[in-house]
Amino acid sequence: MYVLSIIPQVLPRRNMARSLGATDVVSLAKSLQEMSMNGTEPPPQYFLEENSIKPMDSFLPSDPIPIIDISLLSSSSLSSKEGKDELEKLKSALTSWGCFQAIGHGISSSFLDKVREVANQFFALPVEEKQKYSREVDGSEGYGNDQILSENQVLDWLYRLFLRLRPVDQRKLQLWPENPNEFREVLDEYGTKVKIIMDVLIKAMAKSLNLEENSFSSQFGERSVMQARFNFYPRCARPDLVLGVKPHSDGSGITVLLQDKEVEGLQVFKNDKWFIVSVIPHAFVVNIGDQMQIMSNGIFKSPMHRVVTNSERMRISVAMFNIPEPDKEIGPVDGLIDEKRPRLYRNMKNYAAFNFECFQKGVVPLESAKI
Ligand SMILES: O=C(O)CCC(=O)C(=O)O
Ligand SMILES: [Fe+2]
């Protein structure tokens, strides 16, 4: 029921008689910023499908998305009463919402502001300067608009800069902005700090299910992938019809998101409704991705989420994804499989490639991963 009711929204496709040609794509990319500045009506390639739930049909949750003090989740704190309570809260958040707001993460507010500042400075550069870092034709890394992966895809109203940070020897530094000049250094430092937090969380997640603390982290492997996605949402004249990011669940293991400091936009799908994720300026929104749902044998939920647009204000966000080593097989942890909860998913490798194939076929990856 849950999945069926959202399938049309998960992989939206337009039923247009004509699909996008290469020239259309180029001109669309060029004009998004112009359309934003001039307040012009976006073209139908950006319009939501008729049967999708519109942005104004969204709610502030009466039972808010949990706020978790993650300083209490480190191995040394977990023996205390507060640590145990917080671990229980973590489990409850991930089995219901699949996400939470993380405070007590130890990264200074001034550093988080710096991350937002370099992101803002990059997106404010002239188009020609940003295009030096344009996405490669056959790759996903670099700067650009929504990547077109299938015909009749509804387009997201945003610009992205997508970069791999880990393994470090796989960095494509030619795509890392040199302008503003602190960009690379800030991103490198931010990546290191966020990875430490992710490692603590992945262990705490295992412990919250009474598993040995490395049960999930060993599946990520020593050379797990870490990617950063900088999202920039220009103002949009039709927030009633156009989304910043269409509904999706992340294909990652875990995602740590730094929201805009002031402008809301992120929404999470739960109980057939879209809920607004409030801005807590120096908290992270942490959500699990599909691969953690698989490893937890469906106990943790990889939340469906979307981003709405705004006619008044632009918005930025920075998402960091940690993904198990593509060559390593992941699957439900043995301790989470029993007669009451039989194995839900098969073991699989390289979920990113699988995700991509599913998107092109118009099927839901998590459904296709089921036994
Ligand atoms: O901008 C946001 O708040 C979320 C972006 C997102 O969901 C993503 O990059 O996967
Ligand atoms: Fe996402």
**pLDDT tens column, 14-31:** 443 334 444 444 455 557
Q: How far is the CA of 266 from the centre of ligand 2 (A)?
A: 9
Q: Give the neighbor-by-neighbor strand order of the sheet with 58-59.
A: 58-59, 273-276, 266-270, 305-308, 243-248
Burial of 21 (0-12, 13-18, 19+ CB in 10 A): exposed
Q: How far is the CA of 250 from the centre of ligand 2 (A)?
A: 5
How far CA 336 is from CA of 6, 95, 109, 303, 333, in Å, comes to: 27, 14, 38, 20, 6
Residue 215 placed within a domain:
yes
Residue 278 placed within a domain:
yes
CATH number at residue 245: 2.60.120.330
Give the amino acid at 278: S
> Strand ranges (DSSP E) for 77-158?
99-103, 142-145
The answer to whether residues 166 and 224 touch, using CB atoms and an 8 Å cutoff, is yes
Residue 57 placed within a domain:
yes
ipTM of the complex: 0.99
Residue 101 placed within a domain:
yes
Structure tokens at 354: 């699988």
| Residue 28, pLDDT score | 57
Cβ of 307 closer than 6 Å to ligand 1, yes or no, is yes
Burial of 363 (0-12, 13-18, 19+ CB in 10 A): middle
Cβ of 245 closer than 6 Å to ligand 1, yes or no, is yes
Cβ < 5 A residues, ion ligand 2? 250
How far CA 141 is from CA of 133, 228, 260, 334, in Å, comes to: 9, 10, 22, 35
pLDDT tens figures, 62-108: 888 999 999 999 989 999 999 999 999 999 999 999 999 999 999 99
Residue whose CA is closest, atom 1 of ligand 1? 317
| Residue 2, pLDDT score | 30
| Residue 322, pLDDT score | 98
Between CA 201 and CA 163 the distance in angstroms is 22
Residue 21 placed within a domain:
no
Q: Give the neighbor-by-neighbor strand order of the sheet with 99-103.
A: 67-69, 99-103, 284-288, 254-258, 315-323, 225-233, 159-166, 142-145
CB count within 10 Å of CB 84 equals 15
SS3 state at 357: helix
Strand-pairing partners, residue 330, are 348
Domain carrying residue 124: 5-12+52-368
Between CA 277 and CA 290 the distance in angstroms is 20
| Residue 8, pLDDT score | 36
Q: How far is the CA of 292 from the centre of ligand 2 (A)?
A: 14
| Residue 189, pLDDT score | 98
Between CA 100 and CA 348 the distance in angstroms is 27
Residue 153 placed within a domain:
yes
The answer to whether residues 226 and 322 touch, using CB atoms and an 8 Å cutoff, is yes
Cβ of 319 closer than 6 Å to ligand 1, yes or no, is yes
Between CA 91 and CA 207 the distance in angstroms is 9
Q: How far is the CA of 17 from the centre of ligand 1 (A)?
A: 30
Cβ of 296 closer than 6 Å to ligand 1, yes or no, is no
What is the 8-class DSSP label of residue 173?
G
Mutate to test the pocket of ligand 1, among 10, 232, 245 (most ligand atoms within 8 A of CB): 245
| Residue 57, pLDDT score | 86
Give the amino acid at 371: I
What predicted TM-score, i.e. pTM, was given to this entire model?
A: 0.92
Cβ of 257 closer than 6 Å to ligand 1, yes or no, is yes
Tally the domains of the chain: 1
Residue 24 placed within a domain:
no
Which listed ligand is nearest to 264 at the C-alpha?
Answer: 1
Among residues 229, 243, 246, the alpha carbon closest in space to that of 310 is found at 243
Region of 210 on the Ramachandran plot (φ > 0 left; ψ -120 to 50 alpha; else beta): left
Residue 342 placed within a domain:
yes
Please give the average pLDDT of every successive group of 10 residues along the chain, which has 371 residues.
34 42 50 84 85 83 93 93 97 98 98 98 95 90 87 89 98 97 98 98 98 98 98 95 94 98 97 95 98 98 97 97 97 97 97 88 92 94
Cβ of 310 closer than 6 Å to ligand 1, yes or no, is no
